[in-house]
Amino acid sequence: MKTIFKRSLFTQVLLCCVLAIFAQDSFPDGTPVSEWFRQTKPIDMSTLGNRYCITDYEVVNDSTILQTQKIQAVIDKAHQQGGGVIVVPQGTFLSGSLFFKPKTHLYIEKGGTLKGSDDISDFPLVMTRMEGQTVKYFVALVNADKVDGFTISGEGCINGNGLRYWKSFWLRTQFNPKCTNMDEMRPRLIYVSNSKHIQLSGLKLMHSPYWTTHFYKCENIRFLNLHITSPNRPVGAPSTDAIDLDVCTNVHIKKCYMSVNDDAISLKGGKGPHADNDKDNGINQYIIVENCRFGPCCHSAFTCGSESVHSKNIIFRDSQVDGPYCVVNLKMRPDTPQHYEYILVENIKGNANRMLNVSPWTQFFDLKGEKDIKISRANNLTFRNIQLDCINAATIKSSEQYELFNFTFENLKIEASENPNINTEAVNNFIMRQVEVNGKIKTL
C-alpha cells in the first residue's frame, strides 16, 4: 500500500513539474506560449469528411498526361457536397494549378505523387502576393484562399518538377545579369492566404520551381514531420525557400527536415520606403521552430527578410544544422524600415559557415525616388546553449542604416576555423556569458 502511495505521489509531483515548465514557457517578451502550441498531433483525416480518390473520377496514373481539369473537378465536387478529402493514391499524377475550396483537404498516400507541370502556361496569372508586394503573378501548384481548417497531409510527395524552370532562370541571368527572381516566370509549390488553422504534415515537398510553401495573412499554421528539399547541384534550384511566412501569427514548425537552395525558413511581410504603412503588409509574430534539422543546401536555417517589415517573438530551439551558410540571418534593407525584435535561439548543435549574420542587404532594393535610406532596428536577440563548428563565429557589420541593441550570447561553444572574432562594437548593450570560441572565453 505504501509503495502504491509513493508511486502515486511521485506521479503527481512529476505532473506538477511538467505543468510548471509549460506554465513558465513564454515568448522572449514575456508573453505566455498558448496551449495551441502544445497540440502537435496530426489531424485525423477520417474526421474531415468523405474521401474522394481521384482515380475514381477518371484520373489515371500517368506522369506524362496533364490532368488539371479532371483533378480540379474532383475538388469542386467535394466542395459542392459539403467538403471532404481529395486523395492522391499510389502513382504519379501531372497537374497545373489546383484551387482548394473551404472544407476540402488534400491527402497523398504513400507512393503517391502530385507532380507539377513544367509549362508555365498551366499556371494562370492573377493578383497575388509575391516578394513582399501585391502584384500580378503566377499561381502555385496547390492554392487555397479563405479556407479555415485546411490540411495537406499524407506519406506521399508533391513534386514541383522544377528542373526546366531552374535551367531557364540561369540561362536568363547569363543573357541579362540584372534580371530579378520574378523575371523568370515560375510557380510556387503551395500558396495559402487569408486562412486560419492550417496544417501540413508528413509529406515530402520537393523540387519547387520557386518558393516551396508561402503563407500570407494566415493564423495558427502547423508544420509537422515534413521533408522539404531542392538541390544546389548539378543545377541549382534558385529561391526555393522551404517556408515563407508573410504577415502570419501563431506558427509552429516541428520535426521537419529542410535542405533547399535558399533560406529554409524566411519571414516576409513587405518592402519599400513606406512598407510599414501599407495595409497589405504587416508583422510576423509568435513563431516556434523546434526539433528540426537543416541540410547543407540551405543559405540560412532561419532568416528575417529580405522583404520583411516587423518580426517579433520568435523561438528557434532544439535543432540540428548540417552545413547551412548561417544559422540565423538578419537581412537589413536600405529601402525598407524594418524591425526584428525578441528573438530567442537556443539548444542548437551542428556546423555552419557562421552562427549569425547581420549585414546590409544590397540585392534588388529600390528607394523609389527617395534620397534617404530607411533606418531599421534589431533588438533583444538571445543566443544560448549553442555548440557549433563553423568558419566564422558571427558576422555583425556596423552600418548607418540600422541600430542594433540588447544582444545576449550565453553558454556558447564555437570552433571557428578562420575568423573567431565577434564584432561587439556594432551592438549597443551586448552581453556575453560563458562564450567560448576556439577554447578561449570571450569577455566584454
Whole-number pLDDT of residue 24: 56
- Would you state the pLDDT for residue 286? 98
Greater pLDDT, 362 or 422:
422
The pairing of beta strand 91-95 with beta strand 376-392? unpaired
Name the pairing type of β-strands 265-267 and 300-304.
parallel
pLDDT of residue 83 exceeding 50, the answer is yes
pLDDT for 68 equals 98
**Is 3's pLDDT higher than 50?**
no
Q: Quick check: 299 pLDDT over 70?
A: yes
Q: Is the peptide bond before 32 cis (omega within 30 degrees of 0)?
A: no
At 424, phi and psi to the nearest 5? Answer: -75, -20
Residues 86, 78 contacting (CB under 8 angstroms): yes
C-alpha cell at 402: 540600422
Count CA within 13 A, CB hemisphere, residue 53.
9
Secondary structure (DSSP) of 263-277: -SEEE----STTGGG
Q: Is the pLDDT of residue 342 over 90?
A: yes
- Tell me whether residue 64 is exposed, middle or buried, using C-beta atoms within 10 angstroms of its C-beta: 0 to 12, 13 to 18, 19 or more: exposed
What average pLDDT is seen over the chain? 93
For residues 230 and 212, the answer to whether their CB atoms sit within 8 Å is yes
Residue 348 zone, left/alpha/beta (φ > 0; ψ -120 to 50; rest): beta
**Percentage above 90 pLDDT, the chain:** 88
What cell numbers appear for 75 in the block? 475538388
d(Cα 221, Cα 267) in Å, to the nearest integer?
A: 14
Taking only the tens place, the pLDDT of each residue in 164-215 is: 999 999 999 999 998 888 988 999 999 999 999 999 999 999 999 999 999 9
Specify the 3-state DSSP secondary structure of 437.
strand
CA distances from 345 to 90, 246, 284 (A): 40, 21, 17
Q: Check if the beta carbon of residue 136 is closer than 8 Å to that of residue 127.
A: yes
Pairing state of beta strands 440-442 and 62-66?
unpaired
pLDDT at residue 369, as a whole number? 85
- Average of per-residue pLDDT across 126-148: 96
**Is pLDDT above 70 for 16?**
no
At position 357, the amino acid (one-letter code) is N
Q: Which segments of 323-427 are extended strands (E)?
A: 326-332, 339-360, 376-392, 395-396, 402-419
Q: Which of 95, 58, 100 is nearest to 83 (CA)?
A: 100
**Residues near 241 by Cβ (< 8 Å), separated by ≥ 6?**
211, 212, 260, 262, 263, 264, 265, 266
Count other Cβ atoms within 10 Å, centred on residue 172.
14
pLDDT interval class at 107 (50, 70, 90): very high
- Return the pLDDT at 189: 98
Q: What is the rounded end-to-end Cα distance, in angstroms, of the chain?
A: 59
What pLDDT, on the 0 to 100 scale, is given for residue 20?
A: 38
358-401 pLDDT, tens digit per residue, is 999 887 778 888 888 999 999 999 999 999 999 999 999 999 99
Residue whose C-alpha is closest to residue 185's, from 243, 241, 122, 230: 122
The answer to whether 129 and 175 have CB atoms below 8 angstroms apart is no
Query: By C-alpha distance, which of 72, 73, 80, 89 is closest to 139?
Result: 72
Query: Which residues, at least 6 apart from 278, have a Cβ–Cβ distance to it below 8 Å?
Result: 270, 272
Residue 244 has a pLDDT of 98
Q: Distance between CA 13 and CA 17 in Å, rounded?
A: 6
84 sits in which H/E element? strand 84-88
Mean pLDDT of 85-104: 98
Look up residue 307 and give its DSSP letter.
S
Across-strand partners of 251?
221, 287
Mean pLDDT along residues 219-243: 97
DSSP 8-state assignment for residue 74: H
Per residue in 41-78, pLDDT (tens digit) is: 999 999 999 999 999 999 999 999 999 999 999 999 99
Q: What share of the chain is helix, strand, coil (3-state, %, to 5)?
A: 15, 45, 40
- Tell me the residue ranges of DSSP E strands in 156-255: 157-159, 190-193, 196-201, 204-206, 213-216, 219-224, 227-229, 243-246, 249-254
pLDDT for the residue 17: 42
Beta bridge partner(s), residue 106:
86, 152
* pTM, rounded to two decimals: 0.93
* Residue pointed to by grid coordinates 511566412: 245
Q: What confidence score (pLDDT) does residue 364 get?
A: 75
